Amino acid sequence: MDWQRNVGRKPSFERVWVIDAKNYKGLVQRRDKGGFFKTDYHLYVGGRDRAKIVDGLGWQIEAVRSAVGVAEVPVHAALCFIEADWNLFAKPFQLDGVWVTWAQKLAEMIAAPGPLTLEQVTDVADKLAVALPPAAP
């Protein structure tokens, strides 16, 4: 969480983000595999079902929520496709609470104004640094 870049500017902190960047090729799509009376959305990239990568973020989201420990701090997740293709009028979409998007749109989502103060952001950053230290090289 690089909140220090915003010092001297109007802060725009809203939530904690768990982001998984993917370098997949091909068209990103949300397909409904359900029947007439049921929706069952799956993530497809390059024609392949990639629903498992959405499920794979679950444990990471829970680890961050547990580390933050405060229900008032929203934790959101995103799959960010760096090299993938998108339809001309594509919009980010959610699958099981995980945003599926591209880098520029994700940056806009992260920069959106929010309710947290600089003190709250510092507190959250400290909690995350203690609970989730970087992996040793």
pLDDT, tens only, 20-72: 999 999 999 999 988 889 999 999 999 999 999 999 999 999 999 898 887 77
pLDDT above 70 (res 12): no
What pLDDT, on the 0 to 100 scale, is given for residue 35?
Answer: 84
Give, in order, the Cα–Cα distances in Å from 94 to each of 91, 101, 136.
Answer: 10, 9, 33
What is the DSSP track for 9-74? S------EEEEEEE---SBEEEEE---TT---EEEEETTEE-HHHHHTTHHHHHHHHHHH--TTS-
Task: Please determine, for residue 122, whether its predicted confidence score (pLDDT) is greater than 90.
Answer: no
pLDDT at 13: 57
**pTM of this prediction?**
0.83
For all residues of the chain together, what is the average pLDDT?
Answer: 86
Domain boundaries defined on the chain:
11-126
> Is pLDDT above 70 for 7?
no
| Paired strand residues for 81 | 22
